[in-house]
Structure 1
Amino acid sequence: MPSPMPPLTPEALRDAVARIAPSRLPTLTQHLFEAATNAQQTQSLAPLRAFVHSWAVFVAIERHPARAERLRELERIVDAGEQDPTEAIAEIRAIRDAAEAEAGL
């Protein structure tokens, strides 16, 4: 049973990533720092919205270990370039769309 989807706030997403994918915490922290800096420089919330969107999708995918592993497998297929990636790309899109829907995005 996956853990519940956290609120879509930087702090709640950081806590969720710390639980389900702690190795990604430095990346999240760097992304949040850059988003906050860009938001301040541009006087726009768009960079912070992009941060929340990106990490909410990540958490929604990683909450389901089998789905997360399938996504990594599909990404390897696309990256390897040894076969037609059309089906893999379509499945990646479907996984990401489902994750967005779960996250309420």
Structure 2
Amino acid sequence: MRTRSDHGHELIPRPEQTPDALRAALAVVAPSRLDEMQTEKDEAFAKAVDRQSLSPVQSWVLIWAREIGIARRPDLSARYTSAKGNLEHEDPAVAREALRELSAVLDESMRAVRT
């Protein structure tokens, strides 16, 4: 399923920010990361119980909504992958630009999550 937007196409619509919706979305756009998501979810829930606070769970939801936001948009995903690949480049200017680009992609995805 695809939708049109101002930044190109999206592989799936933006999921609701619930654990079940995020898991279902990740199963479509990055199924290889499901175990990672589950491990981090378990850790977040354990911290929430330990701290008697929902903050770790809220952080987990935001992080995975952001990650899915990147994976569901091929334009962001390509930028993200390229930037990550150049973070340890031998040319410091290339590495700095990669860090700037990676930050820009993460910020763009997080802004979309928070709207």
TM-score w.r.t. length of structure 2: 0.84
Does 2:29 match 1:17?
A: no
- 1:88 matched to which residue of 2? 98
Partner of 1:97: 107
Q: Give the Cα separation in 2 of the matches to 1:10 and 1:102.
A: 18
Larger strand fraction of residues: 2
SS in 1 for 2:86: helix
Instruction: Note the residue ranges of structure 2 that are not aligned, 5 or more in a row.
Output: 1-8
In structure 2, distance between residues paired with 1:103 and 1:58:
10
Tell me if the contact between 2:79 and 2:101 (Cα under 8 Å) persists in the aligned partners: no
Instruction: Render the CA deviation track for 1:62-105: whole Å, top value 9, x for unaligned.
Output: 01123212211211110x33122221111111111110111126
- Say if 1:39 and 1:48, in contact at 8 Å, map to a contact too: yes
Of 33-42 and 82-91, more deviation after overlay is shown by: 82-91
Identity between Structure 1 and Structure 2 (%): 33
- More relative contact order, 1 or 2 (CA 8 Å, 6+ apart): 1
1:29 and 2:38 are equivalent in the alignment: yes
Asked if the contact 1:17–1:24 (Cα under 8 Å) also holds between the matched residues in 2, the reply is: yes
Tell whether the 8 Å contact from 1:21 to 1:62 is kept in structure 2 after alignment.
yes
Aligned pair count?
104
- Which structure's residues are more often helix, by fraction? 1
RMSD over aligned CA atoms reads 1.3
Cα distance between partner residues in 2 of 1:4 and 1:104: 15
The TM-score, its normalising length taken from structure 1, stands at: 0.91
